[in-house]
Amino acid sequence: MLSLKFIRENIEKVKLSVQHKNVDFDVEALLSQDDERRNLIQEVEQLKSERNIATKAIADKKKNGEDATTAINQMRLVSDKIKALDQELKQIDEDIADKLLFIPNVYHDSVPIGQTEDDNELVRVWGNKVKFDYTPLTHLELSEKYNLFDFKRATKMSGSGFPLYRGVGAKLERALINFMLNYHVEEHGYEELFPPFLTTREATTTTGQLPKFQEDMYHVTGDDLYCISTAEVPVTNMHRDEQLEEANFPYKYTAYSACFRREAGSYGKDTRGLLRLHQFNKVEMVQFVHPDTSYDILETLVNDAEDILQALGLHYRIVTLCTGDLSFSAAKCYDIELWAPGEDKYLEVSSCSNFESFQARRGNIRFRRSDTKKLDFVHTINGSGVATPRLMVALLETYQQEDGSIKIPEVLVPFMGIDSIR
């Protein structure tokens, strides 16, 4: 969330962010309403001053035995007006607070201006596209051959968009999750968490999913809880309404969770197999960091996600998202895209974002600066480390062999107990 003070001091920057993020919001109307609010406050303060003077005058009249009826009646009129204005002011405050939740975060100066993913900027590439002397199979064809997933029976359980992993497919999914958690803890120094998969309205508002993206979320109406779209939601809220210690920065957490996304606006997009799901698994990285170092740490967070893919020997590229492809809450984001030879395209498996103070302000997550002794909001960064469905697609399609088997990457063999699927 942006503060009114920031918006007033950076009007053009906020307007450009609204425009370039393709958000429908009238910044000028909000500021006009804030002007009305300020005028009301001044009027109320003036009336309260008049009431204080009148109260003293009434007391003096009574002390001197004079008739204070007229003065009392006038004071009552002033009090009634103050009460009415206070009610009006309360309504305006609530309306402004609600509108602030619909203003996107401003983008960082380094973010490229653009409308679609075609305008994203390539940062770097690791590895090379695997070459085959034959036409590679897709993950669905490989699944059919080895009975890895069962989408037909999953549909009977939950409808379309929900996977059912079977046999060695289920074991491979579990192996990927355990490998990634272990790697982030042992090699990168994250603390592992296992958070709830349902969060409150307040928690989901903190991270920016609510209220703007409510239609894309699964809502448990009886308890007013939301199925999480990512472990980012509960983990970020771990420190909501807390004051963190500057000396302990960065706070680093990793967590596995199931993720649930209705994605109401995604119908018609590629939904084959594991490419787009309503429920999927993901290992998340979340850090609470000092504002002065957040962009340096964002780069290390990207490296942490890369390490996973390099250990698995998978070819990928990294792009900087343009303004039109940038999320509502992010100031800057890198996407990591794996090459899937059977699909013949790159698939996004990780988004690494710096939210600056946007989430921390919503969640009231602060620290005290040692130099100024003033309270300030922390910066939050997070990234997928990584999401499993498209990772599974790329892994199966990359490691298929000419004899029809699928090689297991060396780092997964201890978790699988086998070196190939055949």
In contact, 387 and 285? CB cutoff 8 Å: no
In a shared domain, residues 221 and 277: yes
Residue 106 lies inside a defined structural domain of this protein:
no
Mean pLDDT of 321-333: 98
**For residues 414 and 171, what is the distance between their CA atoms, to the nearest angstrom?**
12
The 10s digit of each residue's pLDDT in 198-249 is 999 999 999 999 999 999 999 999 999 999 999 999 999 999 999 999 999 9
Give the residue among 328, 333, 249 at the shortest CA–CA distance from 292. Answer: 249
Q: 124: Cβ–Cβ under 8 A, 6 or more apart, which residues?
A: 317, 318
Rounded percentage of the chain residues whose pLDDT exceeds 90: 92
Q: What is the CATH number of the domain that holds 93?
A: 1.10.287.40
| pLDDT, tens digit (0-9, with 9 covering 90-100), for 7-40 | 999 999 999 999 999 999 999 999 999 999 999 9
Residue 108 falls inside a structural domain: no
Is 342 domain-assigned?
A: yes
User: How many angstroms separate the CA atoms of 184 and 308, rounded?
Assistant: 9
Distance CA 382, CA 354 (A): 7
Whether residues 144 and 236 fall in one domain: yes
**pLDDT on residue 272:** 79
Asked if 58 and 138 sit in the same domain, the reply is no
Please, what is the average pLDDT of the chain? Answer: 96
Whether 105 is in a domain gets the answer no
Question: Are both 29 and 156 inside the same structural domain?
Answer: no
Count of domains observed in the chain: 2
269 with 352, same domain: the answer is yes
- pLDDT at residue 321 is higher than 60: yes
Asked if residue 252 and residue 287 are part of one domain, the reply reads: yes
Buried b (16+ CB within 10 A) or exposed e, 109-131: eebbebeeeeebeeeeeeeeebe
Which residue's structure tokens are 């005058």? Answer: 57
What is the structure's pLDDT at 61? 85
Residues 143 and 90 both lie in one domain: no
pLDDT higher than threshold 90 for residue 70: no
Residue 22 forms part of a structural domain: yes
Q: For residue 271, is pLDDT > 80?
A: no
Q: Is residue 381 part of a domain?
A: yes
Residues 82 and 135 in one domain: no
Domain, as residue range, for 59 = 4-100
The answer on 214 and 128 residing in a single domain is yes
Please check whether residues 95 and 170 belong to one and the same domain: no
Question: CATH number, domain at 212?
Answer: 3.30.930.10
Tell me which of 100, 128, 148 is where a domain ends: 100
Q: What is the pTM of this model?
A: 0.93
Tell me whether residue 8 is in a domain: yes
273 part of a folded domain: yes
pLDDT computed for residue 266 by the predictor: 52
Whether residues 164 and 53 fall in one domain: no
For residues 164 and 84, state if they share a domain.
Answer: no
Give the residue from 44, 65, 100 where a domain finishes.
100
